[in-house]
Structure 1
Amino acid sequence: MTTTTEAKSGFSPRVTLQKVGTSLSNMVMPNIPALIAWGILTAFFIEDGWTPNAPLESAVGPMIHYLLPLLIANTGGRMIYEARGAVVGVIATMGVIAGSDWLIAQDNAAALEKWLAAGNAESAFEALPEVHMFIGAMIMAPLAAWIMKKLDQLWQDHIPAGFEMLVNMFSAGIFGFIALVAGFFGLAPLVNGLMTLLAEGVAALINAHLLPVVSILIEPAKVFFLNNAINHGVLTPLGISDAGTNGKSVLFLLESNPGPGVGILLAYTFFGRGAARASAPGAAIIQFFGGIHEIYFPYVLMKPILILAAIGGGMAGVAVNVAFGTGLISPAAPGSILAIFGVAARDSYLGIALAVLAAAGVSFLLSTLFLKIGKQDDGDIASATAKMEQMKGKKSSVSGALTGAGAGAAAAGAAGAAGAADGSDHTGPISKIVFACDAGMGSSAMGATVLRKKVRAAGFDDVEVTNKAISSLNDEWDVVVTQKELTDRARQRTGSAIHVSVDQFMNSPRYDEVVELVDARNNPDSADDAPTADAEAADAGAGAPAAAASGAHGRRAAERPAEDSAAAAPGTATPADAGAEPDTGEGTEILSPDSIVLTGTASDSATGIDEAGALLVAAGAVDQGYVDAMHAREATVSTFMGNGLAIPHGTNDAKSTIKRSAMSFVRYPEGIEWNGNSTKFVIGIAGVGDEHLVLLQKVAMTFSDPAQVERLEQATSAQEILAIFGDEKE
């Protein structure tokens, strides 16, 4: 009932908090290796470390005060607006760090003056410590990146051709300066006050011997996937600051202790029933040694009273850690017993071991009691896993260990969301679609342009559709579209996304399926006839006829103005005059008349690549090494786009051989064989940055229109070819 109400209202506090926690986690988790490196440096080389070393100790302070917050800022900004957001986010965060230091210096100077005026010795004065700006970075960097993105969208369609680089560089620099000043005077005082308040609150709990009480919040939060907001939003920043001052922090152990979970799993091992009992031993091993706490959540959801066992175990573990004064020198991620001992302070091994045993013991005893005295079914672990995945919003990466391959289907059924039967790891609305290829500049840009047009025509202006190289993907995308040979590589980087494989880039029927899926997920009330085909299944079926648009999707497409259907996606650089010949900013044309051949001499894909590549070499855009890379790319993935078009280009590793962005155009009136397809047009691409994407989008729009393709076939001059690519589509 709660889930249904939340869906109808469009707002869920739980889901909102999950999203906030996920964002915080995504900023911190990639930088955990840097935190571990700092922890090792601290453990060995500070004055009280294993092997004190004064020169190396000098790196401890700068790492925690500057490097680690700026790494988080870089990640946070990149999450919002890629490299541009990362740069602006780091600049803005530097202002927060400097502003915090300036405030601390002012407070210390005033306190010292009062101390001396009272007749105290200067040597006895205790200065306020620095505030490490982890929370500041997690607030300022994404905010600055988001504002930069919105500002770019305001003027991206009004930049004269040839001035893109000038505007982009200066706009980011000027706004970065403004954000730095705003962080210095605006956010720094707020974060200083917040960190002081939180630190005093933790100190008060410790002094009052009440720190174990926090388990009442942490243990239920873990099961409902709210722990990231607590752990990475509060405990990790406070823990790092504490460790920077004291060399260790007990705060890192509040959430990562595997004892409560393993106690519950051991209780099921001995006193459970059915599938739950059979799967519990394996789950316990994964949870204790692998550090994947998520795997015990379904066992709690099968019998919710067990949350009390988790709380009891957590409180026992915290109490022992406090009693023994234990702590970790950096966060333990994942929460494995091996990771915990790997970053434990040198005086904390015994106390941590006893804390884990106490947590597991109390949790085991309470779980056994609840399993014995309460009614226990046969252990429907699949249903409980489905419930967990419904709360999580996507499939669990470890659910297969509990229920086998069928867990995902059960989760989809329990979620009850339209389109959930597509077999993907994603069950919520779709807001981000990426078309990925090996290099991220040719086929993916073409495919993204065609797919973006269809998504916009369906009325989904807020759905981002862009292109990237597979090597730059992370698990932030809702839908990933790739050529079928690349799908497995993309899955390795985006495991929770819906993966769609295509054979052709220009006219694949899978694009219509993606639009239907977006319609079903984003408008569940109007998706009674939502598609149920597996978006990932049977790559060989990519050529099947597309389902006709219907329902709300069809109505939106009919009502939407035609001129809006080709609108560029947010963040795409599109000059006001789309018909202009784009250049690199140095007056050099991307596609010049000298790089256009109306009657090619090649006979197959290999010689076609040679002919298109030779034009790029002759234009001074690449050297021969790039042409070799074009052949290497074709050997792994075909660059045939459909509609008689092939776009050969080099691999991602070959970008260093590109001197400037350029394109070549070769027409074969009789057609040539290209990996089993008849090809009449070959367009070679070499892209340094994004300068060529404007023309490439026009090429995509042209080849998606049969009338325009016919005009290309009948063209009699290079200038006519350029004019066709420059014409606005009706």
Structure 2
Amino acid sequence: MDIKVKIQKFGGFLAGMVIPNIGAFIAWGLITAFFIPTGWLPNKELGTMVQPMIRFLLPILIAFTGGKMVYDQRGGVAGAVAAMGAIVGADIPMFMAAMILGPLGAVCIKKIDKFLEGKVKSGFEMLISNFTIGILGMILAIFSFKIIGPIISSATNVAVAGINVFIKAKLLPLLAVIIEPAKVIFLNNAIDQGIFVPLGVQDISQHGQTIFFMLVSSPAPGAGILLAYSIFGKGNSKKSAPSALLIEFIGGIHEVYFPYVLMKPIMFLAVIFGGVAQAFVWNLVGAGLAGYPHPGSIVSFLIMLPKGGFIKVMLGILAGIVGSFSLASFFLKAGNSEEDSEEMGLSDEIGSMLGLEKEDSALFTKDIDTIVFACDAGIGSSAMGAGILRNKIKEVGLDIKVENYAVDKVPKGIKLVVCHKNLYDRARKNLPKAKIRTVESFLNDPVYDILIKELKKGEVE
């Protein structure tokens, strides 16, 4: 497994801990935006909820979710107890500790249960089960209180101090050189949930707003790319770009613009320029959000605005759109002599995208009752892709369910999976016997229609 796939998988695991709890993050963000002293409706009594939620509720939810991902309910309980030591022993929100200790607690109790399997006398199972998790939880809580918490606190303080140096030196926009290309190759979850969410939470606890929640989540650079294709593109790319623009900017599904960058790699410079432009403006005017915007749409940004933050945030959004649009437009107009190059970018190498060279036998429609559309985190692009495929299947009258999952969490019995081509290796590793079809464009990829024809024919090649 190459390093990119490992990072993608790590990012997907981090997202799996954070995304199920986004509702709690939004609740905390709204309480912060409304009721802190500088909020829309300052209320000293209601504002007292902000710190307990950020210090205790959110990290414990993440730790429990991470533990449950590894070892169901017992793993969740062990992970939450283990993380509690670090949470109580630190003065800053322990999100990173929760992401470490939640799965760690689950792994430990899983190994203990396996060791004791078959060795407990009948009638003592419940007693042993409860006391093993209790004793382990105590040990891990003490360990995290004394060791993990202080280590994470020191590392976080160093990271915050380092980034503050960038901010004061007006160099924060340079982070876009890393962030924007990483997003396009599906590493957005790793850098957002792993780095910027913990930093942003701490920043909000100190200042009431943060720029860190906007750097990865902003829809502006992608919107500029799609706007340029809508005006100056050709073929399928021009036709599909307006729809993709609405889905990306309003719906917050950033994955729809990735193919437009990947099929013309010079567009990486355009998204970087857009990211630099928006971060420069935000850093200059002191913009920030009061809560985590998920999904990363303009609607989420507006909901999470701090009091007096509308103009500051929107100036950065506008700068990001103009920055990426201007450079992308230049590249598209300069490449107009390459006849239909963009159209080819969305539809060539169909055999490779379908994975036909890797499949040896056909799968008959009568054997397929469920198709899974998979993405990195199991929501967003996979939900959209599943909806498109579901409608196409319904139109031809086939009785096949279409569901969406995280690529590493697809049930083992699934026989047919659809995912983005960049996730093929992870899908193949998780489901070595399944048929896997890969798409490059989530909106109008020819794979959808090819698959429907195969399903109608009764045989998936």
TM value normalised by structure 2 = 0.79
Residue 306 of structure 2 aligns to a residue whose secondary structure is coil
Question: Structure 1 residue aligned with 2:24, among 2, 26, 34?
Answer: 34
1:412 aligns with 2:351: no
Question: Structure 2 residue aligned with 1:334, among 295, 300, 304?
Answer: 295
Give the partner amino acid of 1:378.
D
Kindly indicate whether the alpha-carbon contact (under 8 Å) linking 2:372 and 2:414 is maintained by their aligned counterparts in 1.
no
Q: CA separation in 2, counterparts of 1:224 and 1:421?
A: 31
Alignment of 1:486-501 (within 5 A): 491-492=402-403, 494=405, 497=410
Q: CA separation in 2, counterparts of 1:267 and 1:421?
A: 41
Residue 51 of structure 2 aligns to a residue whose secondary structure is helix
Give the partner amino acid of 1:94.
M
Deviation by residue 1:435-486 (Cα, 9 ceiling, x = unmatched) = xxxxxxxxxxxxxxxxxxxxxxxxxxxxxxxxxxxxxxx9xxxxxxxxxxxx
Deviation by residue 1:360-397 (Cα, 9 ceiling, x = unmatched) = 1111110011112236452566865899xxxxxxxxxx
1:91 aligns with 2:81: yes
2:163 is matched with 202
Gaps of 5+ in 2: 376-382, 384-398, 416-429, 436-450
1:378 aligns with 2:340: yes
Alignment of 1:598-677 (within 5 A): none
Change (3 A) 1:281 1:421: farther
Residue 256 of structure 1 aligns to a residue whose secondary structure is coil
Q: CA separation in 2, counterparts of 1:367 and 1:499?
A: 42
Kindly indicate whether the alpha-carbon contact (under 8 Å) linking 2:40 and 2:306 is maintained by their aligned counterparts in 1.
no
Residue 266 of structure 2 aligns to a residue whose secondary structure is helix
1:638 is matched with none
2:130 is matched with 169
Alignment of 1:212-227 (within 5 A): 212-227=173-188
Give the partner amino acid of 1:307.
F
Give the partner amino acid of 2:65.
T
Kindly indicate whether the alpha-carbon contact (under 8 Å) linking 1:89 and 1:141 is maintained by their aligned counterparts in 2.
yes
1:184 aligns with 2:126: no
1:369 is matched with 330
Change (3 A) 1:134 1:425: same
Question: Structure 2 residue aligned with 1:285, among 216, 223, 246?
Answer: 246
Change (3 A) 1:79 1:270: same
Give the partner amino acid of 2:119.
H
Kindly indicate whether the alpha-carbon contact (under 8 Å) linking 2:373 and 2:402 is maintained by their aligned counterparts in 1.
no
2:15 is matched with 25
Question: Structure 2 residue aligned with 1:45, among 31, 35, 59?
Answer: 35
Question: Structure 2 residue aligned with 1:78, among 46, 68, 71?
Answer: 68
Q: CA separation in 2, counterparts of 1:208 and 1:519?
A: 50
1:491 Cα deviation after fit? 4.8
Change (3 A) 1:202 1:66: same
1:328 Cα deviation after fit? 0.5
Give the partner amino acid of 1:336.
S
Q: CA separation in 2, counterparts of 1:421 and 1:358?
A: 50
Change (3 A) 1:347 1:144: same
The structure, 1 or 2, with the larger RCO (C-alpha pairs under 8 Å, 6+ apart) is 2
Change (3 A) 1:183 1:152: same
Change (3 A) 1:346 1:85: same
Kindly indicate whether the alpha-carbon contact (under 8 Å) linking 1:291 and 1:335 is maintained by their aligned counterparts in 2.
yes
Change (3 A) 1:377 1:252: farther
Q: CA separation in 2, counterparts of 1:355 and 1:366?
A: 17
1:350 Cα deviation after fit? 0.7
1:163 Cα deviation after fit? 2.5
Q: CA separation in 1, counterparts of 2:348 and 2:294?
A: 25
Deviation by residue 1:524-557 (Cα, 9 ceiling, x = unmatched) = xxxxxxxxxx9xx989x9xxxxxxxxxxxxxxxx
Kindly indicate whether the alpha-carbon contact (under 8 Å) linking 1:97 and 1:133 is maintained by their aligned counterparts in 2.
yes
Q: CA separation in 1, counterparts of 2:411 and 2:79?
A: 30
Give the partner amino acid of 2:189.
N
1:349 aligns with 2:313: no
Residue 250 of structure 2 aligns to a residue whose secondary structure is helix
Kindly indicate whether the alpha-carbon contact (under 8 Å) linking 2:32 and 2:291 is maintained by their aligned counterparts in 1.
no
Residue 216 of structure 2 aligns to a residue whose secondary structure is helix
Q: CA separation in 1, counterparts of 2:177 and 2:246?
A: 25
1:142 aligns with 2:103: yes
With 368-377 and 316-325 compared, the bigger mean Cα shift is at 368-377
1:246 aligns with 2:212: no
Alignment of 1:549-568 (within 5 A): none
Q: CA separation in 2, counterparts of 1:282 and 1:165?
A: 56
Alignment of 1:287-686 (within 5 A): 287-374=248-335, 376-379=338-341, 384=346, 411-413=353-355, 417-418=358-359, 425=372, 491-492=402-403, 494=405, 497=410, 520=433
Change (3 A) 1:492 1:521: closer
Q: CA separation in 1, counterparts of 2:122 and 2:72?
A: 23
Identity among equivalent pairs (%): 41
Question: Structure 2 residue aligned with 1:267, among 228, 237, 241?
Answer: 228
Kindly indicate whether the alpha-carbon contact (under 8 Å) linking 1:326 and 1:348 is maintained by their aligned counterparts in 2.
yes
TM value normalised by structure 1 = 0.51
Give the partner amino acid of 1:281.
P
Kindly indicate whether the alpha-carbon contact (under 8 Å) linking 1:326 and 1:347 is maintained by their aligned counterparts in 2.
no
Structure number with larger C-alpha Rg: 1
2:216 is matched with 255
1:492 Cα deviation after fit? 4.2
Change (3 A) 1:490 1:99: farther
Residue 118 of structure 2 aligns to a residue whose secondary structure is helix
Change (3 A) 1:82 1:385: farther
2:48 is matched with 58
Kindly indicate whether the alpha-carbon contact (under 8 Å) linking 2:33 and 2:291 is maintained by their aligned counterparts in 1.
no
1:162 Cα deviation after fit? 2.9
Q: CA separation in 1, counterparts of 2:217 and 2:61?
A: 23
Change (3 A) 1:330 1:183: same
Change (3 A) 1:292 1:185: same
Q: CA separation in 2, counterparts of 1:420 and 1:223?
A: 33
Kindly indicate whether the alpha-carbon contact (under 8 Å) linking 1:286 and 1:292 is maintained by their aligned counterparts in 2.
yes
Give the partner amino acid of 2:29.
G
Change (3 A) 1:181 1:495: closer
Change (3 A) 1:305 1:44: same
RMSD: 3.2
Q: CA separation in 2, counterparts of 1:421 and 1:495?
A: 25
Kindly indicate whether the alpha-carbon contact (under 8 Å) linking 2:277 and 2:320 is maintained by their aligned counterparts in 1.
yes
1:117 is matched with none
1:500 Cα deviation after fit? 5.2
Q: CA separation in 2, counterparts of 1:368 and 1:149?
A: 54
